[in-house]
A and B are shown apart, each in its own frame.
Chain A
Amino acid sequence: MFLDHFEYYAPATAAEAFALAGRLGEGARVLAGGTDLLLMMKDKLIKPCYLVDINGVKEFQGINYEAGKGAVIGAAVRISEIEHSPLIRDKYYALWQAAGELGSVQVRSMATIGGNSCHASPAAETPPPLAALGATVVIAGAAGKRELSLEDFILGNRQTALKEGELLTGFILPEPAPRSASRYAYIGLRDAMEIDAVNMAVNLVLDEDRLTVKNLKLVMGSVAPRPLISAAVPKLLTGRKFEPMLLEQVAAAAAGEAKPISDIRASAEYRREMVAVLARRLLQEAFDAAREV
């Protein structure tokens, strides 16, 4: 379980990081928390020649919120910082929930929000809530800056839209809509240090009557190669008064959209069943919470 040789760089500024990423090319990997990267290197799944440690880059740190505009979360922000942020809990509840369920205390102290999306595991905790909350990723390199929605950033199992020489620098979360609430839940074999068999995030916005669904996003994790945005559930609920009676039909629609596989963590059949359970549970929870906002 030793690491192969590599050269180590620790840029102090974003400009230095972009220059290094551009100069070192495809042999370079970004070191953020290291909780996935170093394991892949130990297992010899990847053999980078260079590691660019971005933890010292100030521009990639911090959670900055501006009322009415939303929040910007730096790519190198630790999961534990999100877990302990009253702001994230208040405004982006589903993300706060997901952060608290990731790995263990140690993993959360090390792992970063940027790394969780860049690793692009289909079972990752934070991409579904980020997508449900309408997150945009900021990508930059020596050549310039671009923005993408999170669902356009994660392309498949361990595949992202990052091009050579580009780095993910942060996430932009829009200000939550009035009368909205978000919720996250997962199914796994244990409470900690497990890989989710299924996870899901819901963001639900109500009309002024606090009964009619104005807008809704439901995102499933671990049932497709990348976060799966439900098309059927918003179609069934948007513009309608939320009633518990509808939930059976809606949950079945979500389960129908899931494309799970069978593996050591769960069978495809079980996963599909759990999609229905989580959809029912989270939509009800989000509706109840949105009524109170």
Chain B
Amino acid sequence: MKKQLIQLEINDLIYEVPVNPRDLLVDVLRKKVGLTGTKKGCGQGDCGACTVLIDGAPVLSCITLAVACQGKKITTIEGLADAQGNLHPIQQSFMDHGAVQCGFCTPGMVLTAKALLDRDPSPTETEIKRSIAGNICRCTGYKKIVEAIAAAGATSKVEVQ
């Protein structure tokens, strides 16, 4: 099967990558673009480790075709820090709250949290829990993750004011 050259906009940069229609976004990000921050967990859309943002919405890159992402804005965990390397407030909050154990779920958690806080900067605890219900943390460190997201929401709200 012949590969085709497609353009993907990832973290505000345009990449030209040769893909097969069957190539999944997670594999293209990791193997062809070299952005290994996106993790591949279950490979069947259950665990949320592969979460990336497409046009701001959290999607599962292990069940997304790369070829279907042309013309869309893809954000991975590598795209969150600013140009000077300062961490995004959610990333900083995860560190401050010790919300990272093995770290495998963290990129997906942070991106899901970003989608939530972009929509609603001051979610309730229940809303945070509902929002990350599709991100499985095998270390079961949920309490600190929920606290980190709540604190990040409060911070970004202060910044807006």
Chain A: residues with CB nearer than 8 A to chain B? 1-8, 10, 31, 34-35, 38-39, 42, 51, 53, 55, 78, 80, 103-107, 109-110, 191-193
Residues of chain B contacted by A55 (CB below 8 angstroms): 68
Pairwise interchain contact B58-A105, C-beta atoms closer than 8 A: yes
Q: How far is the CB of A46 from chain B (nearest CB, A)?
A: 14
* Set of chain A residues within 8 Å of B58, measured between Cβ atoms: 105-106, 109
B37 at the interface (CB under 8 A from A): no
Contact residues in B for A39 (Cβ distance below 8 Å): 44-45, 63
- B65 and A80 contact, CB distance less than 8 A: no
Q: How far is the CA of A3 from the CA of B43 in the complex (A)?
A: 11
A-B contact pairs, 13 of them (CB 8 A): A4-B22, A5-B20, A5-B21, A6-B21, A6-B22, A105-B131, A105-B132, A106-B60, A106-B112, A106-B134, A107-B45, A109-B115, A110-B60
Q: Are B130 and A191 in contact (CB under 8 A)?
A: yes
Is B57 positioned at the interface, with any CB of A under 8 Å from its CB?
yes
A172 to chain B, nearest CB (A): 26
Give a binary string over B33-59; 1 marks a CB under 8 Å from any A CB, 0 the rest: 000000000011110100100000111
**Nearest Cβ distance between residue B111 and chain A, in whole angstroms?**
10
CB closest chain-B residue, reference A194: B133
B115 touches A105 (CB 8 A): yes
Chain B residue with Cβ nearest A109: B57
A133 to chain B, nearest CB (A): 24
CB within 8 Å: A-B pair count: 85
* Chain A to chain B: the 4 pairs with minimum beta-carbon distance, closest first: A104-B134, A192-B133, A8-B21, A3-B22
Q: Does A8 contact B44, Cβ atoms closer than 8 Å?
A: no
Contact of B133 among A1, A104, A110 (CB under 8 A): A104
Q: A5-B1, A5-B20, A42-B44 are in contact. Are A34 and B131 (CB under 8 A)?
A: no
Chain B hits for A1, CB < 8 A: 43-44
What is the chain A residue whose CB lies nearest that of B133? A192
Across the interface, name the chain A residue whose C-beta is closest to B71.
A56
- CB atoms of B134 and A107 under 8 A apart: yes
A105 and B134 contacting across the interface, CB-CB below 8 Å = yes
Q: Which partner residue on chain A sits nearest B56 by CB separation?
A: A109
Please measure, in the bound complex, the distance between the C-alpha atom of A71 and the C-alpha atom of B45, giving whole angstroms: 31
Q: How far is the CA of A38 from the CA of B64 in the complex (A)?
A: 8
- Which residue on chain A has the smallest CB distance to residue B53? A109
Q: Chain B residues near A4: list those with CB within 8 A.
A: 22
Chain A residues with Cβ under 8 A from B60's Cβ?
A: 35, 106-107, 110
B67 proximal to A (CB < 8 A): yes
Whether B24 sits at the interface, judged by CB under 8 Å, is: yes
Chain A residue at minimal CB-CB distance from B129: A191
Chain A residues near B45: list those with CB within 8 A. Answer: 35, 38-39, 106-107
A-side contacts of B68, CB under 8 Å: 8, 10, 31, 34, 53, 55
Whether A8 contacts B134 by the Cβ 8 Å rule is no
Minimum CB–CB distance from B108 to chain A (whole Å) comes to: 9
In the complex, which of the residues B21, B44, B58, B63 has the most CB atoms of chain A within 10 Å of its own CB atom?
B63
Pairwise interchain contact A51-B21, C-beta atoms closer than 8 A = yes
